[in-house]
Amino acid sequence: MTNSDAGRLVKSSQVSIGQKLGLIFKWGGPYLLAGLFYAASYMFESATSLRTPILDGPVPESVYRWLLVMVLLAVGWLIVEFLSASNRETTTAALQSDAVVSSLSAIVLTGIAGWFLGKGTLEWWFLVPWIASIFDAVTASWIGINNAAQKPFLSQRGTT
């Protein structure tokens, strides 16, 4: 290994603060969404219906607009995840880490949802982040496998 190779290796292993914040947003997305809407259900009177258990009677009318906001934010988070996992410059190690963290998040949130369901207290604020985490776990693994499998067939960065 030459000195220039070692210098590139050191530079590529350094992670900026923006990249660290991006990882926290990517990996903490469902937790941030759940926390945000749980807090909103206490802060805004129109959002108190988010604390209605899902298994209770008819869905309150005011839940629909909050569900729309939650779905839009979850889709935005999933697009960021998709773009990161499908980027050809993403390393295989980063793809593996993303798949593992996404799978663990889906398992943890599914366990929490099962606990809520067992108690009969699964509320609307938790539904969208839970489903988004499951969708993320499936797509992160699938896209990561496809991205990693294509890497040997692509030219090196800057040589195309």
Using one digit for the tens of pLDDT, what is the confidence trace for 76-87?
989 888 887 777
Q: What is the pLDDT of residue 160?
A: 44
Per-residue confidence at 39, pLDDT binned at 50, 70, 90? very high
Tokens of 108: 């943890």
pLDDT value, residue 14: 59
Report CA-CA distances (Å) from 5 to 11, 19, 64, 88, 97: 10, 23, 55, 21, 25
Average pLDDT over residues 120-126: 91
CA–CA distance, 32 with 70 (Å, rounded to integer): 11
pTM, 2 dp: 0.76
CA-CA distance, 149 to 126, in Å (whole number)? 35
Q: How far is CA 65 from CA 29, 30, 49, in A?
A: 20, 19, 11
What's the pLDDT at 139? 87
CA count, 13 A, side-chain hemisphere, 120: 2
